[in-house]
Amino acid sequence: MSKKLDYDKTLTRLLVIISRLNDGESLSVKELADEFAVSTRTVQRDFNERLVSLFPIYQDRKVWRMMDGHKIEKTRDNEDTIVLQILEKMTSSIGGRFALRSKAMLDKLKNDDNPPIYAKLNLEDIGDHIDDIALLSQAIKVRQTIVCVYGDKTDRAIDPLKIVNYEGFWYLVAKKEQKIHKYYLKDISNIRPTKHSFEVSKSIDELLENSISIWFNQDKTPYKVSLKAHKYIAKYFYRRPLPTQQIIKTNEDGSLEFEVSITSDMEISPIVKYWIPYLKVVRPKSIADSIDEDIQEYLKDS
């Protein structure tokens, strides 16, 4: 049996179990194991590792039940409903089998034929890579080195740290030979867990939190860039500040001056180019000059 079919069956089993518990049934591990043609250990793992932390369920002797007074669709308040709607829009943007499965699970938790929220996130479709993501996620959780094929089709051993999304594209941030590397997720294949484990530096979370784009560089000391936003776009940097953004001053003409910390020029250059001519680099001059050269090159070829 393929891993793909196993994964589909696992999701289906979990959905059926939580739906029946929500309907008030008391479920026996042994009976469920017989029904789904799996071992009792597999079903018990479904409850202990996958369901009990997410839903108000408990085990009473040999059966599992939903807690008295709890029913998933009745315990939501307005804030919970909004969160579910946002989650649905986010997962639908990912596309493929992932979107279908996540929608099925979210539909179990909500009843809203006309949701008031619409979000166009333009996330890359990774639905066909769900099995790989499951393997990577597990390796990240248990800090397990993996061997995989990437790009040049040769095996490489890496320590997976985080699956990240920047500007709609998915990457794996991993450690290789004590250095941080970024791998385009769709180019990773033939993932094989090893018996080796690794330590995780707490600084990786801070590094990602402060990064503006996938171009961040762990080996460089952060340096500041000063920018000036025209009054036409200043409001956008108030509404959604860049990571590490610090406002220097708001000018009388409505323009905004602010600073960000970066570890690579490429973290900020694409953003400036996106907002041309309304966003400019004040300093360092080297970044401003580099952007000017790119613009001149573009104009020359157009």
Each residue's pLDDT expressed in tens, for the chain with a length of 302 residues: 333 334 457 767 877 888 888 888 999 999 998 888 888 888 888 888 777 766 788 888 788 988 876 665 544 454 455 455 556 655 665 566 666 666 666 666 555 555 565 566 677 888 778 888 889 988 998 999 999 999 877 889 999 999 998 988 999 999 998 889 999 999 999 999 999 999 887 778 888 888 999 999 988 999 999 999 999 999 999 988 999 999 999 999 999 999 999 999 999 999 999 999 999 999 999 999 999 999 999 988 66
Distance CA 132, CA 221 (A): 33
Residue 155 near residue 192 (C-beta atoms within 8 A): no
Interior angle at CA 112, CA 110 and CA 113, nearest 5: 140
Task: Name, in order, each residue with C-beta under 8 angstroms of 41's C-beta and a sequence gap of 6 or more.
Answer: none
Distance CA 166, CA 122 (A): 11
Structure tokens given for 153: 């089709």
Distance CA 188, CA 204 (A): 21
- Provide the 3-class DSSP secondary structure of residue 197: strand
Question: Whole-prediction pTM value?
Answer: 0.64
Task: Name, in order, each residue with C-beta under 8 angstroms of 87's C-beta and a sequence gap of 6 or more.
Answer: 102, 106
